[in-house]
Amino acid sequence: MKTKVQLYDTTLRDGAQAEDVNFSVEDKIRIARKLDQFGVSYIEGGWPGSNPRDVEFFKEMKKVKLKKAKLAAFGSTRRANMRVKDDPSLKALVSSGARVATIFGKTWDLHVLKALKTTLAENLAMIEDSVLFLKEHLDEVVYDAEHFFDGYKANPDYAVQTLLAAEGAGADCLVLCDTNGGTLPHEVEEIIARVKRVIATPFGIHAHNDSETAVANSLAAIRMGAVQVHGTINGYGERCGNANLCTIIPTLKLKLGIDCVSDASLSRLRDLSRYVDELANLPHRKRQPYIGDSAFAHKGGVHVDAMAKSSLTYEHITPELVGNRRRILVSDMAGKSNILQKAAELGIPLKKDSPELAGILKKVKELENEGYEFEGAEGSLELLMLRAGRGYESVFNIFDRIDYRVFTEKRKIDPHPLSEATVTVEVGGETEHTAGWGTGPVNALDKALRKVLPRYFPGKGLEDVRLLDYKVRVLTAAEGTAARVRVLIESGDGRNKWGTVGVSENVIEASWQALVDSIEYKLLRARKK
């Protein structure tokens, strides 16, 4: 299938309507630049005139020169019984600085009669007048047929009349919207097949994900001839979200042979996704197709063994094409192939005939049975593998933990409790005893270790290590406060991130295990350089 499809990104408008998403003006400008560099055709920046933030965004974007993408301003048709030249929304579109306007109009007679409280004839006039007015002042007008599929199901003749009104006024593209997200792919195909017989203007698709069919509906429309696909990065959007461009783009290019972006841009897709997540201050959804952390993660021993022979056995594309990578997970489901491939990935010289291989596999299974989880703690896994080998301590001279003690007290004069930790460690044959204060027991332990270790490991970057994430999972809830817990710590030094794990009936002990592993892993990485 070879055709031309324009990528229309609405992350900054429709995506920003998602719960928990709140872009600043600077965020929106940075994302717009990133989308332009990536190679989308249109960037819908927002609704000028509807809120101060979008007004400021379009004002600032007048200073930004986009290399490829066209900036689009979003709005609605004129108000009922108002002259088009007096409508504030349309005037804001013209003065926004964007040379493309996308306006939505009512397609469903229910909305015309109940929401707008006007006549069907007046709604058609609103569409025609608005498109004519914008065509006089701007380069391009995209007509967004809101609730088109629901409108067509309710009153097909009227739904088509709304499209013809926009077409007659000179709209450059008619975008068919599944605004409520309840249409299924076979319905999209059936309805578009009928509509194509009537309209001559190029058409697009704008799908919402309330039935989790937004991507499928978008692909169905493209197969039926849609030349413009609307969507958002990571599928952000109101309610259940919009069609996810991070899934649509690689599917178009790699599955349908539609060259919508360059190979170089495709290889940056994962980076783009994470960039937008970071600015939205949202965690990256690890199970996203193509770009998620789990998209090419292999856990079952049979799978990993087959993958060692051919990646085609359990991967539908090469992960590097979208900027992702293959991950071999090690768990109680692992076989020797998992361990060997993981060792190779980590640069650990382990072979099929290595005497420690069986011991590593046995240890992993035992620990996971106790509640350890290494999928999110590859730092602890690498240390486990190295400790199974000979001469690890003598080669790396890593510190040895001996004991610790933690006190927490709440003083009447202090609004928050304070913790004091004392630790004893052995480094290079010397025993050190030190203490540290912190806002909590784990913070106090961390500070106590940092007091002594930099003296023995100068220039290794321990001062750069920060705790990025801390998770506690209760493993045996039925045992109440005596339950076993798993602590997962994610640490970073500004350049790399790594995870470590600890398990115990005592949350402090589990935290101590993960914390010490985190520091030891950092020292290991520093010594490998």
Q: Using one digit for the tens of pLDDT, what is the confidence trace for 28-86?
A: 999 999 999 999 999 999 999 888 999 999 999 999 999 999 999 999 999 999 999 99
Indicate the burial class of 445 (C-beta count within 10 angstroms; 0-12, 13-18, 19 or more): buried
Token code pair at residue 218: 């978008």
Domain final position from 335, 370, 405 = 370
Q: Which tens digit of pLDDT belongs to each residue from 97-148?
A: 999 999 999 999 999 999 999 999 999 999 999 999 999 999 999 999 999 9
Q: At what angle do helices 336-346 and 378-388 cross, to 10 degrees?
A: 100
CATH of the domain at 449: 3.30.160.270
Tokens 């965690």 -> residue: 283
The reported pLDDT for the residue numbered 331 is 58
Domain final position from 258, 289, 318 = 258
> Are 159 and 207 in a shared domain?
yes
Which of 475, 529, 519, 528 minimizes the C-alpha distance to 379? Answer: 519
How many Å apart are CA 106 and CA 383, to the nearest integer?
Answer: 61
Indicate the burial class of 135 (C-beta count within 10 angstroms; 0-12, 13-18, 19 or more): middle
User: What is the three-state SS of 484-496?
Assistant: CEEEEEEEECCCC
Token code pair at residue 289: 């197709």
> Are 425 and 353 in a shared domain?
no
How many Å apart are CA 228 and CA 251, to the nearest integer?
Answer: 15
> Are 48 and 100 in a shared domain?
yes
Paired with 229 in beta bridges are 7, 205
Domain-embedded: residue 475? yes
Domain-embedded: residue 385? no
- Please report, as a single letter, which amino acid is at residue 30: R
> Are 414 and 359 in a shared domain?
no
The reported pLDDT for the residue numbered 184 is 98
pLDDT surpasses 60 at 1: no
Give me the half-sphere count of Cα atoms (radius 13 Å) on the Cβ side of residue 66: 27
Token code pair at residue 104: 């939505």
The reported pLDDT for the residue numbered 384 is 87
Domain final position from 258, 287, 318 = 258
- Please report, as a single letter, which amino acid is at residue 198: V
Q: Which tens digit of pLDDT belongs to each residue from 324-377?
A: 988 776 655 556 777 787 787 777 778 887 888 888 888 888 887 888 878 778
Q: How many Cβ atoms sit within 10 Å of the Cβ of residue 377? A: 27
Indicate left, alpha or beta for 416 from its phi (over 0: left) and psi (-120 to 50: alpha): beta
> Are 73 and 192 in a shared domain?
yes
**pLDDT tier, 427 (very low <50, low <70, confident <90, very high otherwise):** confident
User: Do 115 and 80 meet the contact criterion of CB atoms below 8 Å apart?
Assistant: no
Domain-embedded: residue 275? no
How many Å apart are CA 46 and CA 411, to the nearest integer?
Answer: 51
Q: Which tens digit of pLDDT belongs to each residue from 197-256?
A: 999 999 999 999 999 999 999 999 999 999 999 999 999 999 999 999 999 999 999 999
Supply the pTM of this predicted model. Answer: 0.72
> Are 303 and 185 in a shared domain?
no
> Are 339 and 487 in a shared domain?
no
Provide, for the chain, the percentages of residues in helix, strand and coil under a 3-state DSSP scheme, each rounded to the nearest 5: 45, 20, 35
What is the residue range of 305's domain? 297-370
Which of 446, 197, 472, 442 minimizes the C-alpha distance to 434? Answer: 446
CA angle 300, 366, 371 (to 5 degrees): 85
> Are 98 and 17 in a shared domain?
yes
Domain-embedded: residue 292? no
> Are 15 and 97 in a shared domain?
yes
Domain-embedded: residue 448? yes
Domain-embedded: residue 130? yes
CATH of the domain at 129: 3.20.20.70
User: Do 28 and 12 meet the contact criterion of CB atoms below 8 Å apart?
Assistant: yes
> Are 61 and 113 in a shared domain?
yes
Q: At what angle do helices 269-280 and 25-38 cross, to 10 degrees?
A: 180
**pLDDT tier, 382 (very low <50, low <70, confident <90, very high otherwise):** confident
The number of domains in the chain is 3
The reported pLDDT for the residue numbered 473 is 84
User: Do 490 and 508 meet the contact criterion of CB atoms below 8 Å apart?
Assistant: no
Q: How many Cβ atoms sit within 10 Å of the Cβ of residue 65? A: 7
> Are 72 and 172 in a shared domain?
yes
Domain-embedded: residue 378? no
Tokens 């059936």 -> residue: 190
Domain-embedded: residue 381? no
Mean pLDDT across the chain: 90
The dihedrals phi and psi of 497, each to the nearest 5 degrees, come to -125, 150
> Are 340 and 405 in a shared domain?
no
Token code pair at residue 466: 């920060």
Q: Which tens digit of pLDDT belongs to each residue from 479-513?
A: 666 678 999 898 988 888 898 999 999 999 999 99
